[in-house]
Amino acid sequence: MREINRRSMLSGLFCGTAAVAVGVAIMPSAAEAVPLASSSIDAAPTENFVEQAQVVVVRPRRGRRPRRRRVCRWRRGRRVCWWEYR
């Protein structure tokens, strides 16, 4: 595991701070530019945001098991066998 040194920690901190500063600078202007509901566009009703949801439970399909085959090789003058999955 790599050690965290001060240089990498500070560079990460400064990059994160710069990203937050840019986000704070941009977001207020974007939020003011886009209205929530426009009268000229037929918008959805804004008073009821909760919808009924239906739960669907899906069981996994019964598929074939992975095939096993016995594989044997010579290692150090002896035959060594094991099961291999396909």
User: What's the pLDDT score for residue 38?
Assistant: 54
User: What's the pLDDT score for residue 72?
Assistant: 95
Q: Is residue 41 one of the residues assigned to a domain?
A: no
* Among the listed residues 86, 50, 53, the one whose alpha carbon sits nearest the alpha carbon of residue 68: 86
User: What's the pLDDT score for residue 34?
Assistant: 55
Q: What CA–CA distance (Å, rounded) separates 14 from 71?
A: 56
User: What's the pLDDT score for residue 59?
Assistant: 84
- List, for residues 2-12, the tens digit of each pLDDT value: 677 888 888 88
Q: What CA–CA distance (Å, rounded) separates 65 from 15?
A: 49
85: pLDDT strictly greater than 80: yes
Predicted TM-score (pTM) of the model is 0.30
- List, for residues 12-35, the tens digit of each pLDDT value: 888 888 887 887 777 766 556 555
Contact 66, 85 (CB under 8 A): yes
Number of domains observed in the structure of the chain: 1
Residues of the domain holding 28: 1-34
Q: What are phi and psi of 36, to 5 degrees?
A: -70, -45
Q: Is residue 3 one of the residues assigned to a domain?
A: yes
